[in-house]
């Protein structure tokens, strides 16, 4: 609908900027297979993120699968957070991994290091760990790193939402044995569809590049591969959008401040920003006191043509198609998933939109607080 506000709006470059990036492959007709735009994008990303080993991919899910496969985790037990987008888990399942759900910390909604340590000690055959920097917010990377080292498990971060987030002076994507990012149109930086894998040795980097393109060079076949290549069109989109990314992050920061002010004093839970982190402000999640309240707030917003999203619902450990044996309880994640809503967040949003989106949230929650005080 014309007047509707959705949870996100795809960031578009100036048309000329995109066409300018496309001009090379219009001349050369080299539209995929590690073309000039892809090489230029990988180089630009390496500079922007200050990370040397980056390979671009056709999407974040393939990026995850390449990392999991390259780490030798296919078919093995992997500990994973239940509080994430379903693709984190589906990448594991497509590779025949057994997911071991480990609950999240209540204040950050990221994988709990304490629960992870206990689980790894109890089940030493867990070969890998897959935490998520949810909403672009940093996991407890120091603790997770120490535990994985101590227990000999490979650490792969799903940083699909973390582009532009920094922690202790580095890109958040620099942590872990591997990190992946998504460049999907809904993400803060995007290539329409796309993603990348970050690794830390030239050897792994080479293996990932091979696996991304069917595992062979000419007639020599080295390893099992897949088609995970990014096309020139997608890379051109990325090249046109990368320069505006810092401004987008800053603008979202201003909108966060506007939301914070409008929702102050309502007792809403918000996941915390860890000390030492510079957040990319990618999302604006709020946790209502309970699910009924969440439903009321959503209904009130929809009446004003504002479409929030339940990022992320349900907690993945209770997905209906999972093997019954894997469906272990994760009370913190399940509870958060029932109470969460993400409010609209994108650079084009105005302060007026923020006022419109928070008015009804305030009314519903104030009423709730009054009822509680009377009772
Ligand atoms: C978006 C997302 C993915 C999937 O990325 P695609 O590029 O859409 O394949 C994976 N994990 C998380 C946490 C995401 O948010």
Q: Give tens-digit pLDDT for 108-155.
A: 999 999 999 999 999 999 999 999 999 999 999 999 999 999 999 999
Query: Are both 172 and 199 inside the same structural domain?
Result: yes
Digit-coded pLDDT (tens) for 65-87:
999 999 999 999 999 999 999 99
- Asked if residue 286 lies in contact with residue 263, where contact means CB atoms within 8 angstroms, the answer is yes
255 CA to middle of ligand 1, Å? 24
Residue 27 has pLDDT above 70, yes or no: yes
Q: Whose CA is nearest to atom 14 of ligand 1?
A: 160
3-state percent helix, strand, coil for the chain, nearest multiple of 5: 45, 15, 40
The last residue of one of the domains, among 243, 260, 293, is: 243
Query: Are both 61 and 155 inside the same structural domain?
Result: yes
Query: Are both 63 and 198 inside the same structural domain?
Result: yes
160 CA to middle of ligand 1, Å? 5
Query: Are both 231 and 256 inside the same structural domain?
Result: no
Q: How far is CA 116 from CA 83, 93, 123, 137, 186, in A?
A: 14, 20, 10, 19, 30
Query: Are both 258 and 356 inside the same structural domain?
Result: yes
Residue 303 included in any domain: yes
The last residue of one of the domains, among 213, 243, 273, is: 243
For a mutational test of ligand 1's pocket, the pick from 182, 196, 342, 345, i.e. the residue with the most ligand atoms closer than 8 A to its C-beta, is 182
Query: Are both 64 and 204 inside the same structural domain?
Result: yes
Structural domains in the chain (count):
2
CA 203: distance to chain centroid?
26
> Where does the pLDDT of residue 367 fall: very low under 50, low under 70, confident under 90, or very high at 90 and above?
confident
Query: Are both 113 and 31 inside the same structural domain?
Result: yes
Query: Are both 44 and 160 inside the same structural domain?
Result: yes
For 210, the domain range is: 15-243
Query: Are both 201 and 235 inside the same structural domain?
Result: yes
Which whole number is the average pLDDT over 247-272? 96
pLDDT for res 373: 65
Question: How far, in Å, CA of 183 to CA of 161, rounded?
Answer: 9
Digit-coded pLDDT (tens) for 90-119:
999 999 999 999 999 999 999 999 999 999
Query: Are both 135 and 43 inside the same structural domain?
Result: yes
Query: Are both 224 and 300 inside the same structural domain?
Result: no
Digit-coded pLDDT (tens) for 240-255:
999 999 999 999 999 9
Q: Which of 131, 180, 137 is CA-nearest to residue 153?
A: 131
The domain that holds 365 is classified in CATH as 3.90.1150.10
The last residue of one of the domains, among 207, 226, 243, is: 243
161 CA to middle of ligand 1, Å? 7
For the chain, percent of residues with pLDDT exceeding 90 = 93
> Quick check: CB of 228 below 6 Å from ligand 1?
no
Residue 10 included in any domain: no
Residue 356 included in any domain: yes
Nearest atom in ligand 1 to 61's CA: 9
Per-residue tokens: 74: 């296919």
Burial of 315: CB neighbours in 10 Å, binned 0-12, 13-18, 19+:
buried
Residue 163 included in any domain: yes
Q: Which of 270, 266, 285, 281 is CA-nearest to residue 361?
A: 266
> Quick check: CB of 113 below 6 Å from ligand 1?
no
Which whole number is the average pLDDT over 290-316? 94
Residue 65 included in any domain: yes
Query: Are both 72 and 93 inside the same structural domain?
Result: yes
pLDDT top residue among 78 and 303: 78
DSSP 344: P
């Amino acid at each position: 609908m014309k007047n509707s506000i959705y949870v996100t709006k795809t960031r578009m470059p100036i048309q000329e900027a995109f066409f300018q990036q496309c001009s090379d492959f219009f001349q050369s007709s080299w539209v995929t297979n590690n073309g000039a735009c892809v090489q230029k994008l990988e180089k630009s990303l390496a500079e922007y993120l200050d990370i040397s080993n980056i390979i671009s991919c056709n999407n974040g899910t393939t990026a995850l699968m390449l990392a999991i496969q390259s780490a030798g985790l296919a078919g093995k037990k992997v500990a994973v957070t239940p509080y994430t987008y379903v693709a984190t888990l589906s990448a594991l399942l497509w590779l025949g991994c057994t997911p071991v759900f480990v609950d999240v910390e209540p204040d950050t909604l990221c994988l709990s290091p304490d629960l992870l340590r206990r689980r790894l000690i109890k089940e030493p055959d867990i070969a890998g760990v897959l935490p998520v920097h949810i909403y672009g917010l940093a996991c407890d990377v120091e603790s997770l790193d120490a535990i994985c080292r101590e227990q000999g498990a490979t650490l792969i971060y799903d940083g699909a939402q973390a582009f532009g987030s920094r922690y202790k002076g580095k890109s958040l994507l620099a942590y872990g044995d591997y990190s992946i990012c998504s460049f999907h149109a809904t993400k803060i930086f995007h290539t329409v569809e796309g993603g990348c894998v970050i690794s830390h040795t030239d050897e792994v980097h080479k293996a990932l590049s091979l696996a991304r393109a069917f595992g062979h060079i000419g007639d020599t076949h080295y390893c099992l591969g897949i088609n995970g290549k990014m096309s020139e069109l997608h890379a051109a989109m990325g090249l046109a959008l990368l320069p505006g990314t810092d401004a987008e992050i800053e603008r979202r920061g201003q909108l966060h401040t506007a939301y914070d002010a409008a929702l102050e004093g309502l007792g809403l839970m918000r996941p915390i920003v860890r000390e030492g982190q510079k957040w990319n402000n990618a999302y604006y999640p709020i946790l209502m006191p309970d699910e009924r309240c969440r439903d009321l707030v959503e209904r009130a917003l929809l009446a004003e043509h504002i479409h929030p999203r339940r990022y992320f619902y349900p907690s993945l450990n209770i997905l209906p198609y999972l093997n019954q044996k894997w469906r272990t309880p994760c009370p913190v994640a399940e509870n958060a998933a029932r109470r969460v809503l993400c409010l609209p967040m994108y650079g084009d949003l105005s302060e007026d939109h923020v006022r419109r989106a928070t008015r009804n949230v305030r009314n519903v929650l104030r009423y709730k607080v009054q009822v509680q005080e009377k009772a």
